[in-house]
Amino acid sequence: MAYDLEFERPLAELEKKITGLQRKGDRLKHDEHLQLQDAERELRRRTIDHIRRIIFDSFVMTSSSCTGIALLGTTTLSLQDQQNSMGKQ
């Protein structure tokens, strides 16, 4: 089972467990059926958590970049204003 990122390992293990249980099909015992449902729920929850984390991290990085650009722009304008006022004197 190949995975590229560290967070994929536990998800791949859950998928492997799910696939193994699904292969049994109609031969699943009651407790195995419950295990399958739990594993599917857990996989869905972890996947959603990872997606939320990725979105949040990219939002924070984008917000930080925009803030930095805005501050840089404000500083640049401030310096230009100072230079213009010095030139007028």
* pLDDT tens digits, one per residue of 32-83: 999 999 999 999 999 888 888 888 877 766 655 555 555 555 544 454 555 5
Q: Do residues 47 and 11 lie in contact, with contact meaning Cβ atoms separated by under 8 Å? A: yes
Region label for 25, one of left (φ > 0), alpha (ψ between -120 and 50) or beta (otherwise): left
Instruction: Quickly count: other Cβ atoms within 10 Å of residue 39's Cβ.
Output: 20
Confidence of residue 14 (pLDDT cuts 50, 70, 90): very high
Domain containing 30 equals 8-88
* Out of 2-6, 16-20, 57-61, least confident range: 2-6
Residue 55, domain member (yes or no): yes
Residue 1, domain member (yes or no): no
Residue 45, domain member (yes or no): yes
Residue 82, domain member (yes or no): yes
Residue 24, domain member (yes or no): yes
Residue 2, domain member (yes or no): no
- Number of compact structural domains in the chain: 1
Which amino acid makes up residue 24? K
Residue 3, domain member (yes or no): no
